[in-house]
Chains A and B, each alone.
Chain A
Amino acid sequence: MKRSRSPAAATEVGGAKGDAPAIEVHDLTVSYQAKPVLWDIDVEIPAGKLVGIVGPNGAGKSTLIRAILGLVRPASGWVRIHGESARRGRHGCGYVPQRESVDWEFPVDVRDVVLMGTYARLGWFRRPGKRERDLAMRCLEQVGIADLARRQIAELSGGQQQRVFLARALAQDAQVYLMDEPFSGVDAATETAIFEVLLALREEGRTVVVVHHDLQTVEEYFDHVLLLNLRLVAAGPIGTTFTRENLLATYGGRLTLLDEAAEAVRRGAEGRPGWRPPAGLPRT
């Protein structure tokens, strides 16, 4: 296990640390069973920003993240992370997968899962020790569930499970974070807690890319947005990219979503913070 990670890697890209994109995606096409799910994506994700990936269901949002991380093999194109090929560069990435992607009946407790974020640094054979356990506890504190450290993971609520994944990603101590719907199906308190962690990560100059499905909160949460629907419809700073025309182009003829999009844009135009559904209600 070798980790060619951040400081050295970042400077290698060249002195222009601030300007070099964290992630470059070039000509990326991905297909499942001979049907394209991502078509010819070209995009650069700037470093040190909170970036949202937005688009309708089945638009390829998760696939884009998985392709960046080298978890699916593209039909064409390539990805660079901090100037390195995805296979090497992804080792410096923090990853928050979808909650449903693992078996929560697995016989481990919360701290065990968070400790997994330290495994790569430990390398082969070495077991996590006191230093790693302390780090895991700090990460759990940061997401507000330190009191659940020794709890079996099956006993957690959905929001708590999501926080465990986030804590594990924090333990990875990465420069680039990729998160697959971290806000999906969580309670309002968890949503706030997660957002605060994202802000803290950006504060430290890290790049955070988040697959997001709630148009209502896009403007509030992100600096930068990728609008995706099989193809990349638009990408750029929120102010110039999250526009009515772009959303119409992204969501196409889907009426309910279209209304929602229009509503979000209208609110944005009036410069008000978005309406938030009351606590506990599921988001559409």
Chain B
Amino acid sequence: MATTGRAPKNVIGLEYNTAVVLAGTAALGLAAGSTGSLALLRRRALLADALSHATLPGICLAFLVTGTRHFPVLLLGAFATGVLGVLVVGAISRRGRIREDAAIGIVLGCFFGAGIALSGVIQRSGNGAQAGLDGFLLGRTAQMSISDDIWIGTVALGTVALVLALWKEWKLICFDPDFAGVEGWPVRRLDLLLMVLITVTVVIALPAVGVVLTAALLIIPPTAARLWTDRLGPMLVLASVFGMLSGAVGTAVSARSSDFPAGPVIVLSASTIFVLSFLVAPRRGIIARTTIRVRRRRRRERRRLLGAIYEGVEENGGRPVGEAELARRRAWRPGLLRSRLEHARRRGLIDWRSDGIALTPEGLVLATRTVRAERLWQEYLRTEARIDRDLIDLDAEEIGAILSPEQMQALENSLRARGRLPESPIRPGEPGRGGS
């Protein structure tokens, strides 16, 4: 088979054979991405792993019985034992009251072990054709011919078409199968159909990706896609695109150097996409999450600083407050305080003069808000001793949202009576620059 396209014709700059294989693996990635998304959401992903491992004995048996290496024949064998594996998982976990993950582990091990043993038998029999079977372990795209390709592509597209046609049905049984049952949908049959889709996808992926890693191609692209979106449609599209990309990149790399089996390279490509998504995805990515956290902490620190300056100026009767005094107020380390001050100055919040530090109008607005909320909260805690202060750390602004308007009014009145309520931005008692 591999020999059909050996002539180095050039198709868009690629060897003819590579182009053929590329198209095949891309179609494969497409099918794996969309079916994998559903498998993942219906919690069938691990079952797919048991399934793919369970296909190995089928491939070997098909070869032993028929003596051919034709893909359709071998894949039929794969299909048979794959389905058997899934049925055994179901039987063990239902009948024997064993958890499904344990059942999956058992089946995966047994079937894969049997497959390896059978391939050992084939190897010892000295049949030269066994070389072709090795490819099924880790995938070997070089063996794919144009006819295999058309075949794989057709099945892959059929799979995608079914996923699209039954879109709302899949969505429903993945999200809430009980509700689907009440509504009269044949949940069990739809589940069965989904399992068939998964099986077909796994089986056609075997020649390219191999028994060991096929499940990864179903799991990784959808998981990466989920990081980018909160909606099912975009998730499926993205997963399919990621699957296609991995398939194409993996094939291209593995075609360049025969040292790399296609399966691992394809899965590594998918993993690379996943790692990148994990880092840079908006909102869910590590970088986005860290940025939000850092920004929030900076904001809190900035407010703390402004609050301290406000109080200092207030106590000084409106005169700017010195750096040393500020450091004493909040027990800041000198270096840390200085960097905070620099930061606040760059943002135009403070006025750092020779006689000390004062607030700019913008800084004053923020500081007033902060101190006001802080004091209201303290006033609240003063009267409500039942609250464990260690357990609740409210950001200043959140107080108004939590307490009732009446409570807020009472707190404000009580603070105002003692002259402790910072009113709308008036520089605390500073005569020179007041009136703003």
When each residue 80-101 of chain A gets 1 if its CB lies under 8 Å from chain B and 0 otherwise, what string results?
Answer: 0000000000110101010001
Distance between A225 CB and nearest chain B CB, rounded to angstroms: 23
List chain A residues, Cβ under 8 A from B168.
116, 119, 122, 127-128
List chain B residues, Cβ under 8 A from A16.
none
List chain B residues, Cβ under 8 A from A91.
182-184
Least CB separation from A108: chain B residue? B232
When each residue 193-228 of chain A gets 1 if its CB lies under 8 Å from chain B and 0 otherwise, what string results?
Answer: 000000000000000000000000000000000000
Kindly state whether residue A125 has any CB partner on chain B within 8 Å.
yes
Interface centre among B178, B231, B232 (most CB of A within 10 A): B178
- Choose from A71, A93, A102, A122 the contact partner of B175 (Cβ within 8 Å): A102
Least CB separation from A128: chain B residue? B168
Least CB separation from A151: chain B residue? B230
Q: In the complex the two chains form, is B182's CB within 8 Å of A109's CB?
A: no
Interchain CA distance A95-B181 in the complex, whole Å: 10
Least CB separation from A87: chain B residue? B184
Least CB separation from B232: chain A residue? A107
- Choose from A69, A107, A172 the contact partner of B231 (Cβ within 8 Å): A107
B276-300 contacts to A (CB < 8 Å): none
Kindly state whether residue B226 has any CB partner on chain A within 8 Å.
yes
Least CB separation from A101: chain B residue? B178
- Given A106-B41, A107-B229, A107-B231, the answer on whether A1 and B184 have CB atoms closer than 8 Å is yes
**Tally of A-B Cβ pairs under 8 angstroms:** 78
Kindly state whether residue B176 has any CB partner on chain A within 8 Å.
yes
Kindly state whether residue A237 has any CB partner on chain B within 8 Å.
no
Number of interface residues of A (CB under 8 A): 34
When each residue 171-184 of chain A gets 1 if its CB lies under 8 Å from chain B and 0 otherwise, what string results?
Answer: 01000000000000
Kindly state whether residue B185 has any CB partner on chain A within 8 Å.
yes
List chain A residues, Cβ under 8 A from B178.
66, 71, 95, 97, 101
Least CB separation from B174: chain A residue? A106
Q: In the complex the two chains form, is B175's CB within 8 Å of A90's CB?
A: no
Distance between A117 CB and nearest chain B CB, rounded to angstroms: 8
Kindly state whether residue B165 has any CB partner on chain A within 8 Å.
yes
Distance between A199 CB and nearest chain B CB, rounded to angstroms: 23
Kindly state whether residue B332 has any CB partner on chain A within 8 Å.
no
Interchain CA distance A152-B229 in the complex, whole Å: 10
Least CB separation from A113: chain B residue? B175
- Given A107-B231, A152-B230, the answer on whether A119 and B175 have CB atoms closer than 8 Å is no
Interface size class of B (residues with CB under 8 A): 20 to 34
Q: In the complex the two chains form, is A70's CB within 8 Å of B230's CB?
A: no
List chain A residues, Cβ under 8 A from B171.
108, 112, 116
- Given A93-B182, A125-B166, A152-B230, the answer on whether A119 and B41 have CB atoms closer than 8 Å is no
List chain B residues, Cβ under 8 A from A109.
230-231
List chain B residues, Cβ under 8 A from A70.
181-182
- Choose from A101, A119, A124 the contact partner of B183 (Cβ within 8 Å): A119
- Given A107-B229, A125-B165, A127-B167, the answer on whether A116 and B172 have CB atoms closer than 8 Å is yes
Kindly state whether residue A266 has any CB partner on chain B within 8 Å.
no
Q: In the complex the two chains form, is A106's CB within 8 Å of B169's CB?
A: no
Least CB separation from B231: chain A residue? A107
Kindly state whether residue B212 has any CB partner on chain A within 8 Å.
no
When each residue 154-172 of chain B gets 1 if its CB lies under 8 Å from chain A and 0 otherwise, what string results?
Answer: 0000000000011111011
Least CB separation from A169: chain B residue? B179
Kindly state whether residue B32 has any CB partner on chain A within 8 Å.
no
Interface centre among B165, B229, B232, B235 (most CB of A within 10 A): B232
List chain B residues, Cβ under 8 A from A103.
175
List chain B residues, Cβ under 8 A from A116.
168, 171-172, 175-176, 179
Q: In the complex the two chains form, is A107's CB within 8 Å of B235's CB?
A: yes
Distance between B225 CB and nearest chain A CB, rounded to angstroms: 9
Interchain CA distance A50-B185 in the complex, whole Å: 27
List chain A residues, Cβ under 8 A from B176.
97, 101-102, 116
List chain B residues, Cβ under 8 A from A1.
184-185
Interchain CA distance A43-B178 in the complex, whole Å: 24
Kindly state whether residue A269 has any CB partner on chain B within 8 Å.
no
Q: In the complex the two chains form, is A71's CB within 8 Å of B182's CB?
A: yes
List chain A residues, Cβ under 8 A from B181.
69-71
Kindly state whether residue A3 has any CB partner on chain B within 8 Å.
yes
Q: In the complex the two chains form, is B167's CB within 8 Å of A106's CB?
A: no
B169-199 contacts to A (CB < 8 Å): 169, 171-172, 174-176, 178-179, 181-185
Interchain CA distance A70-B232 in the complex, whole Å: 29
Q: In the complex the two chains form, is B179's CB within 8 Å of A95's CB?
A: yes
List chain B residues, Cβ under 8 A from A281.
none
List chain A residues, Cβ under 8 A from B175.
102-103, 106, 108, 113, 116
Interchain CA distance A163-B172 in the complex, whole Å: 18
List chain A residues, Cβ under 8 A from B185.
1, 119-120
List chain A residues, Cβ under 8 A from B174.
106
Least CB separation from A127: chain B residue? B168
Q: In the complex the two chains form, is A119's CB within 8 Å of B172's CB?
A: yes
Interchain CA distance A124-B166 in the complex, whole Å: 8
Distance between A176 CB and nearest chain B CB, rounded to angstroms: 11
Q: In the complex the two chains form, is A107's CB within 8 Å of B172's CB?
A: no
Interchain CA distance A125-B97 in the complex, whole Å: 37
- Given A106-B175, A119-B172, A125-B165, the answer on whether A3 and B184 have CB atoms closer than 8 Å is yes
- Choose from B179, B184, B232 the contact partner of A97 (Cβ within 8 Å): B179
When each residue 308-320 of chain B gets 1 if its CB lies under 8 Å from chain A and 0 otherwise, what string results?
Answer: 0000000000000
Interchain CA distance A95-B176 in the complex, whole Å: 11
Q: In the complex the two chains form, is A172's CB within 8 Å of B183's CB?
A: yes
When each residue 58-91 of chain A gets 1 if its CB lies under 8 Å from chain B and 0 otherwise, what string results?
Answer: 0000000010011100000000000000000011
List chain A residues, Cβ under 8 A from B166.
124-125
Q: In the complex the two chains form, is A69's CB within 8 Å of B41's CB?
A: no
- Choose from A33, A90, A128, A154 the contact partner of B182 (Cβ within 8 Å): A90
List chain B residues, Cβ under 8 A from A125.
165-166
Residues of B within 8 A of A (CB): 41, 97, 165-169, 171-172, 174-176, 178-179, 181-185, 226, 229-232, 235
Q: List 5 additional A-B contacts (Cβ < 8 Å) besides A91-B183, A108-B231.
A: A33-B97, A95-B182, A97-B179, A116-B168, A116-B176
Residues of A within 8 A of B (CB): 1-3, 33, 66, 69-71, 90-91, 93, 95, 97, 101-103, 106-109, 112-113, 116, 119-120, 122, 124-125, 127-128, 152, 154, 168, 172
Can you name 7 A-B residue pairings with CB atoms under 8 Å?
Answer: A1-B184, A91-B182, A106-B41, A107-B231, A112-B231, A116-B168, A119-B185
Q: Enumerate the 3 nearest inter-chain pairs by beta-carbon distance, A residue then B residue, closest first.
A: A91-B184, A152-B230, A120-B183
